[in-house]
Chains A and B, each alone.
Chain A
Amino acid sequence: MRSTFIIFQRELASYFATPLAYIFIVIFLVMAGTFAFFIGNFFNRGQADLQPFFQFHPWLYLVLIPALSMRLWAEERKTGTIELFLTLPISMTQAVLGKFFAAWAFAGIALILTFPFWITVNILGSPDNGVILASYIGSFLMAGAYLAIGGALSALTKSQIIAFVVTAAVCFFFTVSGSSIVLSFVNGWAPQGLLNDLAFFSFLTHFNAIIRGVIDLRDLVFFISVMAFCLFANAVLVDLKKAD
């Protein structure tokens, strides 16, 4: 626990040691705003809620989260610090969790910094703040799931670029598998069972349910399960690939 926290602190501080943190946060805020106002018709819908803002989070994460997760293990392997790191008296679980929680906390900080949107809708009208809170929680969990996928994939390579591209591709699959485009494409020939499976593994399906205000524990459990599975895979992959 203590070791996990110390690793967490070092990792989180390392995000802020480079311009990456600031660039990430600025881009996240600007893009979130742009999507919400211009594509999502934030003002012209005549409704006080944050749905147009949250609705684009999966697509934002698709591009931005791999940029956070790519360095988690790839950089350690590239610079050789993994050899120092894993010969410290820490367990693999502590190493994986410390790193993951730092990245997740960083994503959380970026998310919290979107609070002006929340203030704005509250000034303009009287939104359902319960749904907004649930949406924030959902978005945070979804970010964690994307990060966990990215962390595991970043253990596979020494190249951050490869980690980025592969993570973006895998996350893209997990996102669009539930989008109407893919579903209508598969609809014609695939059995209904496969269709449901595809939709079930889509982050969109679960996230959209949350932001529409349909709070179902199963949607939250889905994201948590994805995280747990990917973190486990992460530990296994680090062990497997650290020698190369």
Chain B
Amino acid sequence: MEAKIEVRHLTKRFGPITAVNDVTFAVGRGEVLGFLGPNGAGKSTTMKMITGFLAPTRGTAVICGLDMIDQPLEAKRHVGYLPEGAPGYPDMTPSGFLAFVARIRGFDGAEAKRRIALAVERTTLASVLEQPIETLSKGFKRRVGLAQALLHDPEVLILDEPTDGLDPNQKHEVRNLITTLAPEKAIVISTHILEEVDAVCSRAIVIAGGRVLIDDTPGRFAARSRLHNSVRLMLADPAIDARTALLRLPGVVAVEPIEDGEGRAFLVVPQEGRAIIAEVTDLVRTAGWPVAALRVERGRLDDVFRDITAKAA
């Protein structure tokens, strides 16, 4: 797989603060990289350096083989960028703004019209095209920003919190859009919504304090959870004390009673890396417990995220 984005030892200092510290990764065509991290982790700063807005203190970003420091104009042609907060010229209308971006990216006449129409359709902007951007709602502003980033059909998309402020339908639309575009492009999105990583990303990077802590697939990322492969067991008769028997099973380290929206249940936690579903089902069968629900947990991204970033802090 050929790397469309190569981030090499990117470092950014603001006076005494090191916002980004020696970040290195590569993203290939067809990959969607989820950029995660607590507030102030350095996600936006990294993106600003990849897109050539900020000059790195050290390191560089290479876009489609073009170094952002040596050949900024050529490199920028291959990038579509949605900055954090999706800024737009307040006095302009989306149609005027998109026309400007189209022209400056070198499209004129019918070609520009066609591209604008496609971007407008993809971001469902048609209803607000002639309204000044400053009067648009937050979600529509973001969609204008997205349309602008997609206009030239770039090979590299850098989207800083693309679904922030969108309603659930639009979130879904944007995720579908990203998935549709994914095979042709290298995409980096930053987000605070972990389910989004599951939904659209083929890879996740967690950064905190400017450093990369994890670079893995969302599946393996979730597997780092303490609760990965734990078994959630709900019995039809709450009077049964299953706890002692479950704890005696090989490979089980804890049995935690939980009470949530679905009712009262036990969470049987295995030793790291072990699968215990076979043992649990055997026990349930021999003991003859009436089972209401039984399922294997794959581990929750939020738990892992909290664990990792808390450890780093």
Q: State which of B14, B48, B76, B148 has its C-beta within 8 Å of the C-beta of A89.
A: B76
| Bound CA span A80–B142, Å | 13
Contacts of B103 in A (CB 8 A): 6
Which chain B residues in 86-126 approach chain A with CB under 8 Å? 87-92, 96, 100-101, 103-105
Contacts of A80 in B (CB 8 A): 83-85, 87
The digit string for A5-28, where 1 denotes a CB below 8 A from any CB of B, is 011001001100110000000000
How many residues of A are counted as interface, with CB atoms below 8 angstroms from the partner's CB atoms?
22
Contacts of B85 in A (CB 8 A): 80
The answer on a CB contact under 8 Å between A3 and B87 is: no
**In terms of DSSP, what is the predominant structure of the interface of chain A?**
helix
CB < 8 Å A-B pair total = 63
The answer on a CB contact under 8 Å between B83 and A89 is: no
Q: B268 → chain A, closest Cβ, in Å?
A: 50
The answer on a CB contact under 8 Å between A87 and B104 is: no
The answer on a CB contact under 8 Å between B52 and A87 is: yes
CB nearest to B99 among chain A residues: A10
The digit string for B50-62, where 1 denotes a CB below 8 A from any CB of A, is 0111110000000
Q: A7 → chain B, closest Cβ, in Å?
A: 7
Which chain A residues in 216-244 approach chain B with CB under 8 Å? 239, 242-243
| Bound CA span A220–B51, Å | 41
Contacts of A83 in B (CB 8 A): 48, 53, 81, 83, 87
Q: State which of B74, B81, B96 has its C-beta within 8 Å of the C-beta of A87.
A: B81
| A79 interface hit (Cβ, 8 Å) | yes
The answer on a CB contact under 8 Å between A14 and B81 is: no
Which B residues are within 8 Å of any A CB, using their own CB? 14, 48, 51-55, 73-74, 76-77, 79, 81, 83-85, 87-92, 96, 100-101, 103-105, 145, 148
Top 9 A-B pairs ranked by shortest CB distance? Answer: A80-B87, A17-B91, A83-B83, A89-B76, A87-B51, A81-B87, A89-B77, A89-B73, A10-B100
A selection of 26 A-B contacts at a CB cut-off of 8 Å is A6-B100, A7-B104, A10-B100, A14-B89, A14-B92, A17-B91, A17-B92, A18-B91, A79-B88, A80-B83, A80-B85, A81-B89, A83-B48, A83-B83, A83-B87, A84-B87, A84-B145, A84-B148, A88-B101, A89-B73, A89-B76, A89-B77, A89-B105, A90-B104, A242-B53, A243-B14
Which A residues are within 8 Å of any B CB, using their own CB? 3, 6-7, 10, 13-14, 17-18, 79-81, 83-84, 86-91, 239, 242-243
